[in-house]
Structure formats: structure tokens, C-alpha cells
Amino acid sequence: PFAQHRERYIEQWKRACLHFHPLEKFSGDNGALYHRSRELLLAHEDKTYPGALIASLSIPWGEAKGDEDLGGYHLVWTRDMVNSATGMLASGDLTTPVRALIYLACSQHDDGGFSQNFWINGDPYWSGIQLDEVAFPIMLAWRLHKNGALRDFDPLPLVRAAAAYLVRQGPATPQERWEENAGYSPSTLAAVIAGLTCAA
């Protein structure tokens, strides 16, 4: 029955928003944008694969993209996922970021790298290598560690494998974040340096 499903849906959303920092007094709109932003980030987490946060529910430039472009941003990009998880962590959510890190640990390749982007089930979509996509999960592990939010999850195997991958493959990246250039990208170098610093 619809009424029961609606009640359960509302109760789940209320429960999901219980443990956030009360930042309403610091905003000009009594926290409306803050609340909607958190809820929007939460809506990007898959319900079948906990922790899988896709980059976007939309396809940018939709008027210029046809139905044959299945991926768009309906994929997991580790960089975008870590940014979303970090935003949730900053808002006081300690569970979503841990789920995201566990999901990334399950998605990591045997050599320590990650697919450029992938479907929520882990199947790769594009096959490029972007070194910052390998560095970002290390930074998330460090942030969770510093916040005492790792619970029983040990990210050390993920961190060691990713750091080793960065050392072997870097510092030049086959692709920078916009897939336009290879080589020494300032944004990629910054992420790799930060990731290796966090790993140390």
C-alpha cells in the first residue's frame, strides 16, 4: 500500500539526516541550501551497492548527447565519489563516507589502481588511467582515520596498494581529470602528492 511505503520512505530520510552538524545559524536561508545539498548527495548513493556514489544523476550537455552515450555521469568516478563522501563527512555524517571507502576497497584493482570510471557493479566503462582517481581514496581513508570514523574497517591494504600504484605509474599521468592531456598535470600532481602524504 502506498501510504505505508510513503511513511517508511519519509522515516528513512529523517533517520538518514539525524546526525548532521547544525549549521543553519551560519546560513542566510536557515539552512535550506545546506539541507538540500546533503540530501542531494545522499540521493546519489546506490541502494543495491551501499557506498556506491555516482557522479551525477544527470547527463550534462543533454541536448547535445544522444541515447547512445549510456555512461554520462551515471557512473562511479572515484574523484567525484570521494568529494561527495568528504562533503558528507564535513556535515557530520560518519557512516556514508565509511561505506564509500569500503565500496572503493572492493572496487580496487589487484595492481592498486582504479578504473577511470565504472558502473555501480564495478564493471569499467572507460579504460583511461587518471592518477588522481587513485590518490583520492587514500585521502578519504586519511580523513576518516583522523575523524576516528573507520570503525572496524582497516583501509591499510587499499592505501598501500594505491600508494604503490602511484609510485610505479607517476608522476606523469596518462590522462588528467578532463581527459584532454597527458603528462605533468598540476591538479593531478597535487592529488598524488596529497595522497602519498596521507599514505605516509
- 176 among known catalytic residues: yes
Give the model's pLDDT for residue 63: 67
Q: Alpha-carbon distance 98 to 13, whole Å? A: 19
Which distant-in-sequence residues (6+ apart) come within 8 Å of 90 by Cβ? none
Place of cell 579504460: 127
Q: What is the pLDDT of residues 129-167, one digit of tens each?
A: 999 999 999 999 999 999 999 999 999 999 999 999 999
Let me know: does 56 contact 43? Beta carbons within 8 Å. Answer: no
* Cell, residue 147: 575523524
- The count of other CB atoms within 10 Å of the CB of residue 29 is 10
Question: Pick the catalytic residue: 68, 133, 176, 180?
Answer: 176
- 63 among known catalytic residues: no
Q: What is the pLDDT of residues 124-138, one digit of tens each?
A: 999 899 999 999 999
**Closest C-alpha among 11, 9, 95 to residue 53:** 95
Phi, psi of 119 (to 5 degrees): -70, 165
24 secondary structure, DSSP code: G
The answer to whether the predicted template modeling score (pTM) of the entire model surpasses 0.85 is yes
Question: How buried is residue 146: exposed, middle or buried, by Cβ count under 10 Å (0-12/13-18/19+)?
Answer: exposed
Q: What is the pLDDT of residues 98-116, one digit of tens each?
A: 999 999 999 999 999 999 9
Question: Pick the catalytic residue: 11, 133, 179, 180?
Answer: 179
Q: Which fold has domain 44-199?
A: Glycosyltransferase (1.50.10)
pLDDT above 70 coverage of the chain, percent: 94
Let me know: does 74 contact 90? Beta carbons within 8 Å. Answer: no
